[in-house]
Amino acid sequence: MILETQNLTKQFDGKGGFKDVNISIDSGMVFGFLGPNGAGKSTFVKTMVGLLYPTCGFAWINGFPIGTIESKRKIGFLPENFKYYDWMTGKELMKFHAELYKMKNPDKKIEELLDLVKLKGHENKKIKNYSKGMQQRIGLAIALLNDPKVIFLDEPTSALDPVGRIDVREIIKRLKDDGKTVFLNSHLLSEVEMICDEVAIINHGHVIAEGKLKNLLSKNTYVEMVISDYNSELIEKISKLAYDIVLKDGKLTFKVKDKDSIPEIAKIVVDSGAKLYQLDSKTSSLEDLFINIVGKDEDVC
């Protein structure tokens, strides 16, 4: 595991933050960390990168305890709200951070990253003249400067237009292809759904759902069948594989926890003597899953 926590907790005078978080993340994975406002997401990231000390529990990055120099050497971090020295140019800012990392001959790496985040031609402009989106891009470049194994991105597309968001998605996919691990905080659930392998949902400081995204989504598949010549025992026959079953006026609707059970249910329907005219299924989106778990009264962030 490149990142692992055991009952990790950070609270402030016994309140807020997060409590007893247990997650394990493999190398080369994009991991989405989701939750409403005040759920504890940013506090968790700040604790993992060493900006906050945990109240209790344990965590490791790349095999080293969090907060140690060894754990910090190969991590990158783009916070949601950051402020750089705006009197510097983009290139000067990157060289400054390269000196902090004690990098030798960083010019080639800086040029590669400027090209990656599409700031070539703007590197000699001062940060104060950068748009918010350009500042986000330079922040991403700095987060990648030390060739990290784990990159923490807190709302990396918050200031970007649709084209910029596509660019960042492509960068994240490229990082994954290179074997990097990306820990992503984002309120844009549709984007998380497109790029994340696994997700965890945190609410009121507790992780309430975690796992492979495709497995979490497949647990809420809605199925609708149009049938005729059915008998009263049909619901009982499929109840071991489905739930929330409703049969009315030739329309059979239900939910399944595993999409692979749909063909088996269809066979049960036909074998019972009923005629099957139509079958439609719809798997929940990440937004559906989030609302079902967290509730409609919460604000996503």
DSSP states of 246-286 as a string? EEETTEEEEEES-TTHHHHHHHHHHHTT-EEEEEEEEEPPH
Closest CA to 186 of 195, 178, 177: 195
Fold that domain 3-216 belongs to in CATH: Rossmann fold (3.40.50)
pLDDT digits (tens, 9 = 90+) for 67-91: 999 999 899 999 887 788 889 999 9
pLDDT digits (tens, 9 = 90+) for 179-189: 999 999 888 88
In terms of residues, how long is the chain? 301
DSSP-based three-state secondary structure for 73: coil
Q: Which CATH superfamily is domain 221-283 in?
A: ACT domain (3.30.70.260)
Q: Model's pTM, two decimal places?
A: 0.82
Averaged over 140-146, what is the pLDDT? 94
* Domain boundary assignment for the chain: 3-216, 221-283
Per-residue CA distances from 16 to 41, 183, 203, 291, 296 (Å):
11, 22, 11, 22, 21
pLDDT at 297 over 80: no
Averaged over 202-228, what is the pLDDT? 89
Cβ burial of 99 (10 Å; 0-12, 13-18, 19+) is exposed
Q: How far apart are CA 219 and CA 226, in angstroms?
A: 22
pLDDT given at position 160:
79
Q: How far apart are CA 195 and CA 235, in angstroms?
A: 38
Higher pLDDT, 188 or 33: 33
**Amino acid at residue number 234:** L
Residue 296's pLDDT band, with cuts at 50, 70 and 90, is low
pLDDT at 200 over 90: yes
Closest CA to 49 of 147, 176, 143: 143
Is residue 44 a contact partner of residue 10, using CB atoms and an 8 Å limit? yes
Is residue 152 a contact partner of residue 49, using CB atoms and an 8 Å limit? yes
Closest CA to 117 of 163, 59, 49: 163
DSSP-based three-state secondary structure for 293: helix
Closest CA to 11 of 52, 50, 51: 52
pLDDT given at position 164:
83
Per-residue CA distances from 119 to 115, 137, 148, 168 (Å):
6, 7, 20, 13
Q: Which of 61-65, 114-118, 157-161, 250-254 has the lowest mean pLDDT?
A: 157-161
The H or E element that residue 20 is part of is strand 15-21
For tokens 């790496």, name the residue: 109
